[in-house]
Amino acid sequence: MNFSEFQNQARLYVIGALEPEEVEEFENARKKFGKKGEEFITKCYALHEAFALSLRPAKASSTIKERLMAMVKAKQQA
């Protein structure tokens, strides 16, 4: 696998779209490309952020934050 093919596979990998038989080959290539490969994978994870930002924000129930913070305080006191 050359680096261009690795880049294509990496973009599929970060969204979980590689098939099981492709994952093994990808992991081998990942080792082969080392730091350069890891840096590219890290950049690909930014796709997650972009996909989320492409959506119109949704309003959460007003009680969610109250419940969350109560749980956090309870956990801290435990």
Binding site for other proteins (CB under 8 A): 7-8, 11-12, 15-19, 42-61, 64-65, 67-69, 71-73, 75-76
Nearer to other proteins, 31 or 57 (CB): 57
Q: How far apart (Å, rounded) are the C-alpha atoms in residues 42 and 10? A: 9
Q: How far is the CB of 76 from other proteins (least distance, A)?
A: 7
Asked if 40 and 6 touch (Cβ cutoff 8 Å), the reply is yes
Shortest Cβ 46–other proteins spacing (Å): 5
Task: Spell 29-53 as b/e; 16+ CB within 10 A means b.
Answer: bbeebeeebeebbeebeeeeeeeee
Q: Which is nearer to other proteins, 31 or 54 (CB)?
A: 54
